[in-house]
Amino acid sequence: MPDPQDFSRAPEQQVFACLDRLGLPWTNTTHIPVRTVEESSKVDKGIAGAHSKNLFLKDKKGALVLVSAAHDSQLPLNQLHKALGTQRLSFTDAQLLWDALGVTPGSVTGFALMNDPSLQVRYVLDASLWNHEIWNFHPLRNDMTVSIARSDFLTFASATGHEPTPIDFVALAASAAGP
């Protein structure tokens, strides 16, 4: 597995080439490397649109799930498995992340779906992202952010064979809290 901060292999180029091949407009912003939502908040201010946080999860039976959520969403991960019909989900290790999606920790992104041609990863999109026209994701590295229209990102996901499962995390958290 490569060093998470060694981007000499230029992984973003395959994202850019795919978006261009699909005829999807996008912009890219280069910034300091960010690995967490807190770190991202320092660079997000100058980039319009909804900023994402992305989590790669698995269950004990081997089901793999990539979640893309609005950066400020509260994710009741202890309830997500019920909504998806899986066993309890937990975070994966760096090696499985690399093997399944071709990214390193800190660079998890919806664009990594292009590295899952066998469709072993289920893609979950936070319903709160749908309220925004522009979505922002890392292009397989955490020192850049690609801005893309919601409809164009959904076209990209579909082109990879992944139809997103929308989950309303606010409603999921409320249902877990009870009346």
34 within some domain: no
Look at residue 121 in the predicted model and tell me its pLDDT.
98
Query: Could you give the C-alpha distances from 5 to 1, 115, 174, in angstroms and in order?
Result: 12, 19, 38
Rg for the chain, CA atoms, rounded? 15
Residue 59's domain spans which residues?
49-177
Domain-embedded: residue 44: no
With cut-offs at 50, 70 and 90, classify the pLDDT of residue 178. low
Q: How many domains does the chain have?
A: 1
Predicted pLDDT of residue 46 = 77
Residue 7 falls inside a structural domain: no
Domain contains 112: yes
Query: What is the biggest distance separating any 2 CA atoms in the chain, rounded to whole angstroms?
Result: 52
The arithmetic mean of pLDDT across residues 53-65, rounded, is 95
The predicted structure's pLDDT at residue 2: 60
**Residue 157 domain flag:** yes
Q: Please check the confidence at residue 4 and state whether its pLDDT lies above 60.
A: no
Cβ–Cβ under 8 Å, residues 138 and 4: no
| Closest C-alpha to 48, from 147, 150, 151 | 147
> Residue 42 — pLDDT band, cuts 50, 70, 90?
low
> Does 28 fall in a domain?
no
Q: What is the CATH number of the domain that holds 165?
A: 3.90.960.10
Q: What is the pLDDT of residues 114-148, one digit of tens each?
A: 999 999 999 999 999 998 999 999 999 989 999 99
